[in-house]
A and B are shown apart, each in its own frame.
Chain A
Amino acid sequence: MKKIVAMLLCLVLLAVSALSVAEAAGDKDYVVGKGKLIVGITDFEPMDYKDESGEWIGFDADLARAFAASLGVEIEFQEIDWDNKALELDSKNIDCVWNGMTLTEEVLAAMTCSKAYMNNAQVVVLPAAKLADYATVESLASLAFAAEAGSAGEAVLTELGYTVNAVQNQAAALMEVKAGTSDAAVIDALMAAAMVGEGTSYPDLTYTLPLNDEQYGVGFRKDSDLAAALDEFLAAALADGSLAKIAETYGVQAALITE
């Protein structure tokens, strides 16, 4: 009996691994065939966010719409749990991750990505009152930081050997600073520009000191030919000026990669 069970288990494992090896090289054909590109996003101003009528807008949303149109397919935006982005892709519940995604080593290992299309940096957010005390990267060593678990910000802090509280997302990191449970947070520069300072929900916070340079890209399933298709599309959009136009709509033209 035990032997039979063991043999059955082996068979199941074999079948499963055989199936998972038979991955699609023709990912573009798959998406065109089903007539819909499902874009995995999170609510992230100014890249993907909802306007008053509940429509998804933003630099990435508009760009994704144009890309889907170029493929001749419909587009569907699906909010995902950011921690599960690779899982969502591999299980084909979404077709790409297009949401101001930093091209980190982990991301590049888990997905086939487009070329970088936008510059970003990880910046330090702290109470405006304390800004003068922390002018250099070295002076930050004594602070307790909050950063999104698995984010580029957390990686930079760990590399520097600083104290990091890993929290659920970048918003939670800001909340930590506001609540005083962490001294400072490290988040995306584009997000900091939109969320911190006067006229925002965090008027008492400010951001300073980029800790690194990094870039945004779009993630597809491993070995997907859609990445190359997007690179072509982006090159054409850059050449005819439509890329710059979308960027200006959302005030991110300065960060656009133009070469």
Chain B
Amino acid sequence: MTFAEQFPIVLGSLNTGFLQTFRLFLITLVGAIPLGMLLAVAEISRWKLLRAFIRTVVWIVRGSPLMIQLLIIFYFPGLVLNTPIWGGGESGRFAAASVAFIINYACYFCEIFRGGIQGIPVGQEEAGLVLGMKPAQIFFRVKLLQVIKAILPPISNEIITLIKDTSLARIIALQEIIWAGQSFMKGSQGISGVIWPLFFTGIYYLAFTGILTILFARLEKKLSYFR
């Protein structure tokens, strides 16, 4: 089979794979950002026990490889608890991967949010109180926009890392783009023993992170007031 004949088949397969990558990316963001905010709020709350609990969770999740977390979340229910909650099909694998990614990224986001909130000088809170504002008013009207400005660069860092981390989901046989590229090394749809589709997946990642970089640069520019 010539390269010209291979190309459309490979492209179709990589597109399907990338769609799965993109879905995992999107659902992780949608789940992890709100969960991360919740964790951040809990981590700076007044209750010592809650703080300690969140810190332990964050330590465990950030301190162990995402690959291990994927394996545990997918295999543990059936293997140890004897109740295979995910189902073995592609949708079950996607659900398990989503849960693992959301928990993992929420913990990173949590630390970024906490840093952003705690980075605001205490003087602003005191000034607000003196002026007779309520703590909630101070948070939403004075601090929040500054927090968003401050955390945008680290958040964009995490988001770009996320798009590449999705490839780890192949360990539980989620057929994302790396899996799709690799399948042609062995043989798939009449094409076997070719390695270029695997390298070609890099183009997808580059294009996608390129778009994200531009979007974030625009967003940062839009938020560049207070100077």
Which residues of chain A have a CB within 8 Å of any CB of chain B?
16, 19-20, 22-23, 38, 40, 42-45, 49-50, 52, 76, 78-81, 84, 87-88, 90-95, 169-172, 174-175, 178, 194-195, 200-202
Nearest CB to that of B9 among chain A residues? A52
Query: Which residues from chain B contact A19 at a C-beta distance below 8 Å?
Result: 80-82
Interface size band for B? 35 or more
Q: Do B78 and A43 touch across chains, with their CB atoms under 8 A apart?
A: no
Enumerate chain B residues within 8 angstroms of A40, measured Cβ to Cβ. 88
Q: What residues of chain A lie closer than 8 Å to B84, measured between beta carbons?
A: 91-93
Structural contact, A170 and B193, CB atoms closer than 8 A: no
- The reply to whether A93 and B82 form a contact with Cβ atoms under 8 Å apart is no
Residues in B whose Cβ lies below 8 Å from that of A84: 75, 171-173
**A52 neighbours in B (Cβ, 8 Å):** 189-190
Interface of A is mostly: mixed
Given known A81-B170, A91-B75, A91-B79, contact A201–B194 (CB-CB < 8 A): yes
Given A16-B80, A23-B82, 10 additional A-B pairs, CB 8 A: A20-B80, A43-B186, A45-B187, A84-B75, A90-B79, A91-B74, A92-B82, A93-B84, A170-B186, A201-B194
Q: In the complex the two chains form, what is the Cα distance from A38 to B92 in whole Å?
A: 12
- Least Cβ distance of B36 to chain A in Å? 29
Other-chain contact of B193, A23, A44, A95, A201 (Cβ < 8 Å): A201
Question: Is B205's beta carbon under 8 Å from chain A?
Answer: no
Q: Is B183 an interface residue (CB 8 A)?
A: yes
Nearest-Cβ distance from residue A230 to partner chain B, whole angstroms: 18
> Is there a chain A Cβ closer than 8 Å to B21's Cβ?
no
A62 vs B221: C-alpha distance when bound (angstroms): 59
